[in-house]
Amino acid sequence: MQKVKPYTKLAQIYNRLMNHVDYERWGDYIKSLFKYADINIKYILDLSCGTGNLLDLMIDDKLLCFGCDLSQPMLVQSQHSETCFKFPLFVNDARVIAIHDQSFDVVLFLYDSINYLLKKSDLLKLINEIYRILHFGGLLIFDTVSDEHCKVHFNHSHENEFWGNEGYFRYNSYNEKTRIQTTQFEIKLGDDIYLEIHKQRIYSVKDLIYILSRNKFQISGIFHNFTHKKMKSDAHRIHFVCKKSLI
């Protein structure tokens, strides 16, 4: 078994792994959050677009969309669909974004992407960079799962799925003290098996609010489980809508 970096080999089966996700519903929900901007929205950057499934749903005649991801193999998978012909894609580390100041009206950072930044210093770098590339009045929209979600769904759970000679075994664990979620994938591609270990830090809402406030982001809302209702203590997925201050 060969150990590789996260999303190196998983990329090849990612879309099948995630076929349970209702991307259309998620895309509609994200667009419903655009109403919190004080500006007309035209330029959108999905900073962790993966294979482009969600960004694909952002496309309409009024929006110009761009996508990037740290994982080149994930972006390569988008080339197997029409996604790569709809908007520009590029490889980028979200902590150092290769974009000019004040270039976008909305920046998205979704599907637990923020949890892959294990250090608060890296999280602060991310927020600094997003603030820099947003227009004044622009939106940062990101999500996170909660501590409760990890305790229920990722504490010593496992699953597997195969499609012919490809598939995976997945093992999950969650350390409540360190708030680190670990997912181990054993990925079978033909005769080869690869090991990917994914680690995520589940930040508290309090920590996220503090880091956002360091950069003059105004928090327009912290929302509960794909609704426009204020987050409750039993939330499993939380969406933040943050506005770059006009001052």
Check whether residue 115 and residue 217 sit in a common domain.
Answer: yes
Check whether residue 165 and residue 66 sit in a common domain.
Answer: no
Check whether residue 19 and residue 85 sit in a common domain.
Answer: yes
Range of the domain at 163: 149-199
Check whether residue 95 and residue 116 sit in a common domain.
Answer: yes
pLDDT for the residue numbered 81 = 60
> Is pLDDT at 142 greater than 80 in this prediction?
yes
Check whether residue 112 and residue 234 sit in a common domain.
Answer: yes
Check whether residue 194 and residue 154 sit in a common domain.
Answer: yes
Check whether residue 49 and residue 127 sit in a common domain.
Answer: yes
- The answer, as to whether pTM is greater than 0.75, is yes
Phi first, then psi, for residue 173 (nearest 5°) are: -145, 155
pLDDT, tens digit, 9 for 90 and up, residues 5-33: 999 999 999 999 999 999 999 999 999 99
Check whether residue 138 and residue 159 sit in a common domain.
Answer: no
Alpha-carbon distance 232 to 236, whole Å?
9
Alpha-carbon distance 9 to 195, whole Å?
9
Q: Please give the tally of structural domains in the chain.
A: 2
Sheet with 192-201, strands from edge to edge, namely 2-3, 192-201, 180-189, 166-175, 157-163
